[in-house]
Each structure stands twice: as C-alpha cells, then as structure tokens.
Structure 1
Amino acid sequence: MTTETARHAHGPRMHWAKLAPEVFKAMSALDAAARQGLDPVLVELVKIRASQVNHCAFCIDMHIKDARKAGESEERIYLLNAWEEATGFYTDREQAALALTESITLLTDGFVPDAVYDRAAAHFEDAELSQLIALITTINAWNRFGVTTRMAPGRV
C-alpha cells in the first residue's frame, strides 16, 4: 500500500471546496436558493434521507446535527432510514417528500414515476414543489462531492 492509498483509506482524497472555490460558492448559493420557502425540518429530513441513500456519511452527520437544531426529534431521526415502516411518525406531506427524495435520488427506472410525483404534487403547491425538487437535486450533488472525495463526518 502506498502512502497515497493509506491516506485515502483514512481521510479525504482531496479538499475539493478549497481547490474549486467558485464551484463551492455556486453550490452554496444553489443550496440557499433551493431551501427558500420550505419548512426547515422538512429540508433536513430530505437531506438526511438522500444522504442515507447515497451513503454520504459526512452529509448524514451534518444534516442530523442541523435537524436537531431545527427542532427535529431523536426518534424521527433514528427512524428516518425506515420511514415507510414508521409512517405514524411522519406526516403525509413528509412521506410524499421522502418518497420523491428517494425516487429522484435513485432514478432506478430512469425516471420519477407518475404516482410518486402526483403524491408529492398533492401535498405541495407548484412553486413549493419546484423548490423541493431543487432541494433534492442539490443535496444529491453535495452527496456526490462528499462521497467521491471521501469527506469525513465531523470535519469541515
């Protein structure tokens, strides 16, 4: 194992935000714009769930902390990975947002099914749904930076 490989096994591959500061700045602006008009707790639930699906430990850690600051309960945070089985803990609106989050994040069939989209559209006005789609898209981009560069939880 080379020194470079050993470093990768225990830390980030690179500090992309420092190496591409204009991209980081643009991503931060997109993130701020995407969350406008959305409930802060819902924002964090969506970000945690997408990050769980994408296996982005850095983002999971960050957004769990942010969810707590926004007033989210420990119980709902713990159950988020199995939200479909714990439906009594999440509102219909939150469940619709989480279903859309998973569908956009996975795109397993190459598209977001009409039933998933329609479910979300039943709970969100068009402008709000547009914001939600932007939020989900943005956290997926953040996750891809984090996973690709192996950003470590608890570090900036």
Structure 2
Amino acid sequence: MGRKKNSSTSIIDDINKKIIKILHKDAKASLKEIGAEVGLSCSSVGERIKKLEQLGIIRGYSALIDEEMLGFPIIAIIAMQCHSPQKEKDLLQKLPSESAVRQFWNVTGDIDIYMEAAFPSMKELNEFLHKLYDFGKPSTSIAINKPCKTFSL
C-alpha cells in the first residue's frame, strides 16, 4: 500500500515549485513575469498563488533588510535554558513583543529556546540579557558575519 499524500503536498507540482521559486527570489515579481517564465496566463498564475496562500504554503511576503544600515549592528544568537516549563511558556509568549528579537525557535535538548536578536549597542544587548535572567540562563554569541542563506526548492 502506498502512502497517502496530504492536500498541501499534492498541490506542489513542477509549475507551483517554479512559481514559489520565482516569488522567493523576488516577491515583487508580477503575474505577467511569472506567467512568462512558467508558461501560464496571468489569471492562472494568480489562481495558483491564491491557492498556495490559502493552504498556508505561502505565508506572506517580506523584504530583506540590512539591519546594520538601520542602526542595529549587533546581531546576537542567544541560547536559553529556562528555569522551568512554566518559565519557558512565559518566555515564548513574551518574545513576539520584544522588538529586538528577529526570530526564535523552541527546540528539544538541553537548550529550550534559540533566538536571533539585533541591537544598536552592547548596552541594549546587556539590558535585554538582564530581562532574560528572570526566565532562565542565557548564553550569547555575537555574529561576526551573516552570509545570506535562505530556503529554496
């Protein structure tokens, strides 16, 4: 007996993969440009994109920002060991409202949470770390280089 595909994987045909790849490279690509590359009309491309969005495969569109040019030259990768499961839960609820936090992951193993955060100075980083001590033990590494690598098909 073969494995049954779920609806989100069965919609990912070669054309949708090409559409996703184009949008990933340039989220501002027009339907006309995409259609020319994949061999479909603008309306067909639009319908496919709408379906990919409805299924949650395409979750949104964003711009890649140079944080250093915006005044945030310090990128910290923070590994957090929480004091308790409740402190972990509390921190996970708080992190989305922290403006310095760019991304975070709740993970398995000795570390409970990894986060990436950007700061204008060491002073602000230090203040943020002091807030984290209420939840557990942070361990911080400063990024010295951030080569851009993003997911691609």
TM-score with structure 1 setting the length: 0.25
Which has the larger Rg? 2
Q: TM-score, normalised by structure 2?
A: 0.26
Which protein is richer in strand relative to its size? 2
